[in-house]
């Protein structure tokens, strides 16, 4: 198990730093583990990160991995609640937290899966994912970011787009996840740019907005051109010596354009909130800037923490 | 360099087996090397195969690799012509044979690139690939299969489809390659089924014609659905326990359907000749069976050998 721990932030005010932790928020994805040590006002006292993602761990390794990070904050005299979201709740994770089935409203989101631990100083709950029966779809982690968004903007109605390896397009109304759709453009980009014949033609640190925009527009207009447009990136490099940065930007534009074409009903004439890291979410916003939708950007990590807070509050209320 | 040599065929008639070789035909692709030892009537005396594909070799290794296979047929008293096609003529191959530019007619196809060797018992020529300037595209090897097809069916007019890792769709008229289009569905299928998240849901030795046909039809009708249909394979497995054989067949159908959608002008209302191995070419024929085109199948290796013969004959005529 290769892992590294990094202290992400340290509150400037010593009085906050010395406060007693009230609970722990955990975002445990396939390749990363993030931990927030929270006070009773729901402010983070410490933020920690490790590369010990769910994909690198056996079920028996989750508890010691978590304890290795949070040991300094534990106290034998009390039980610290730990709320986890993400792939940690998959069948191959720490403990199968199952799925809620769409439509998923605020009340059902309060559910969490209690996970037995050997260490009695913690009480671990893992949030379930969300599934849709037809067309079949699944998410695990994004539902928490949406809960966070709805904690901050309870009246939001429209589509939430969460770009990533597997981008989610989620239709929200009355604080309810009605339906959603997943596209694997992020994974396709990684496979094609690193492992296909195109890898010889798209290795560049630079970027061309013009090439990206043109590719997006061409695929949205004619989605059927995608299959032949992909190999043409290699051919343009061999035949016309088109620079790698243009071809890399074009590959990204082709894949995001194909995704937009497949999700048209979810953004056309809709309010769209894009939740993610600045770079990737920014590309989606750029691709959509000329389309018939109102697009706003929100930072993804902040929404995850907000979603964990929303769930912690729900747990407290359930206990009253 | 890992390689294995296999004697593929041995003529039953001893009088043929003992005939003097007249020339050598070579199909040297990225992952395989095939060699035919030919008599003066253009019949193969021996067929050999090795895994020493172009992708595994440094430029200096090509000549010794070939000699290792054909040494028994060489004679110090004469020079044996060797005609090669395929990726051996790429910039990273034995020697850059360049490209002919479309339109490519029978006369231009007689060109071949003389390659200097240390061993004076052989005279090596490598056939050039074909490039198209706009839209940019390239082929290397398929042009020889097309020459073979035109040797056998000189009057063919229509589209030749050559399925493979990078499938080529080639428009032929008056024995001329007018234009062509490449789709990388074969490489996409390999990447998605072996290395993406879909790999967990498509590992099966079995097959469902029904799932394949439905997927082809759905993407041809609505090409814009491809991007979201891909992840739904994983979701159908998780949510509805759809069997792997159905999902594998569906993945193949989605990718071939997307390819057919992108190449519609090349098969709609056209005669289509599919050149390839029985399994993959058969899938393309099945996908096209309900479409508005006349489809015929031809075995790919036979066309490669026929194309090498066509070129050898052209070389002889040039020398007269």
Residue B293 pLDDT greater than 90, yes or no: no
The minimal CB distance from B223 to the residues A188, A192, A224 is found for A224
> Testing the interface with A: which of B195, B214, B218, B224 to mutate, by most A Cβ within 10 A?
B224
Q: What is the pLDDT of residue B3?
A: 40
A104-113, B236-245, B266-275: range with lowest mean pLDDT: A104-113
A240-254, A258-272, B1-15, B140-154: range with lowest mean pLDDT: B1-15
Instruction: Determine the distance from the C-alpha atom of residue B259 to the mean position of all C-alpha atoms in its chain, rounded to a whole number.
Output: 17
Find the Cα–Cα–Cα–Cα dihedral B276, B279, B285, B289, rounded to 10°: 170
The mean per-residue pLDDT over the stretch B300-311 comes to 96
**A142-167, pLDDT tens digit by residue?**
999 999 999 999 999 999 999 999 99
What DSSP line would sit under A4-43, residue for residue? -EEEEE--S-HHHHTSPP-EEEEEE-SS-EEEEEE-TTS-
Q: What is the mean pLDDT of chain A?
A: 92
Contact map slice: A 116-155 vs B, CB within 8 A: 131-133, 135-138
Number of H helices, E strands in chain A: 11, 15
Task: Looking at the complex, report in whole angstroms how far the Cα of residue A227 sits from the nearest Cα belonging to chain B.
Answer: 5
The minimal CB distance from A183 to the residues B181, B223, B228 is found for B228
Q: Would the CB atoms of B137 and A231 count as touching at under 8 Å?
A: yes
Task: Looking at the complex, report in whole angstroms how far the Cα of residue A299 sits from the nearest Cα belonging to chain B.
Answer: 24
Chain B contacts of A225, Cβ < 8 Å?
262
B69-73, B135-139, B140-144, B292-296: range with lowest mean pLDDT: B292-296
Q: Tokens for A57?
A: 């761990």
Determine contact: B241 vs chain A, CB below 8 A: no
**B34-49, pLDDT tens digit by residue?**
999 999 999 999 999 9
Q: What is the mean pLDDT of chain B?
A: 92
**Domains of chain B, start order:** 1-130 (3.30.420.300), 141-320 (3.30.420.310)
Distance set, CA B245 to CA A258, B72, B165 (Å) = 26, 47, 21
The answer to whether A311 and A147 have CB atoms below 8 angstroms apart is yes
> How much of chain B, in percent, has pLDDT values that exceed 90?
87
- Interface confidence (ipTM) of the complex: 0.91
Closest-CA residue to A203 (of A246, A232, A151, A152): A246
Q: Would the CB atoms of B232 and A259 count as touching at under 8 Å?
A: no
Residue A234: closest CA among chain B residues belongs to which residue?
B137
Determine contact: B235 vs chain A, CB below 8 A: yes
Chain B contacts of A230, Cβ < 8 Å?
183-184, 188
Q: Would the CB atoms of A262 and B235 count as touching at under 8 Å?
A: no
The mean per-residue pLDDT over the stretch B173-183 comes to 97
Closest-CA residue to A83 (of A311, A304, A320): A311
Distance set, CA B288 to CA B149, B221, B272 (Å) = 20, 13, 10
The answer to whether B219 and B258 have CB atoms below 8 angstroms apart is yes
Q: What is the pLDDT of residue B17?
A: 52
3-state DSSP: chain A helix, strand, coil percent, rounded to 5? 45, 25, 30
Closest-CA residue to A196 (of A159, A233, A228): A233
In whole angstroms, give the CA distance from residue A115 to residue B69: 64
Range list of H helices, chain A: 14-17, 62-70, 106-109, 142-152, 185-195, 209-221, 226-240, 244-262, 264-267, 278-288, 300-319
Residue B140, SS3 per DSSP: coil
Q: What is the pLDDT of residue A114?
A: 92
């Amino acid at each position: 198990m290769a892992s590294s721990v990094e202290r992400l932030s340290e509150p400037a005010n010593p009085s906050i730093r010395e406060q007693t932790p009230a609970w722990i928020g955990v975002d445990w994805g396939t390749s990363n583990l993030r931990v927030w040590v929270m006070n009773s006002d729901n402010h983070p006292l410490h933020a920690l990160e490790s590369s010990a993602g769910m994909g690198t761990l056996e079920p028996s390794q989750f508890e010691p991995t978590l304890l290795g990070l949070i040991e300094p904050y534990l106290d034998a005299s009390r039980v610290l609640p730990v709320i986890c979201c993400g792939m940690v709740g998959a069948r191959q994770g720490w403990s199968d937290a199952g799925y809620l089935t769409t439509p998923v409203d605020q009340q059902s989101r309060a559910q969490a899966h209690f996970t037995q631990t050997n260490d009695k100083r913690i009480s671990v709950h893992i949030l379930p994912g969300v599934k849709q029966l037809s067309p079949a779809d699944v998410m695990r982690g994004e539902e928490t970011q949406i809960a966070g968004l709805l904690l901050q903007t309870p009246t939001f109605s429209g589509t939430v787009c969460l770009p990533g390896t597997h981008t989610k397009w989620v239709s929200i109304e009355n604080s309810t996840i009605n339906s959603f759709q997943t596209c694997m453009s992020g994974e396709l980009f990684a496979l094609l740019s690193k492992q296909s014949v195109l890898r010889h033609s798209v290795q560049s640190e630079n970027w061309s907005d013009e090439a990206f925009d043109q590719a997006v527009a061409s695929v949205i207009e004619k989605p059927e051109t995608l299959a032949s447009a992909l190999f043409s990136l290699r051919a343009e490099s061999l035949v016309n010596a088109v620079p790698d940065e243009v071809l890399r930007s074009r590959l990204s534009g082709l894949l995001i354009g194909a995704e937009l074409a497949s999700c048209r009903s979810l953004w056309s004439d809709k309010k769209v909130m894009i939740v993610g890291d600045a770079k990737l979410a920014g590309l989606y916003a750029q691709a959509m800037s000329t389309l018939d939708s109102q697009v706003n950007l929100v930072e993804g990590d902040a929404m995850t923490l907000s979603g964990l807070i929303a769930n912690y509050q729900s747990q407290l209320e359930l206990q009253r």
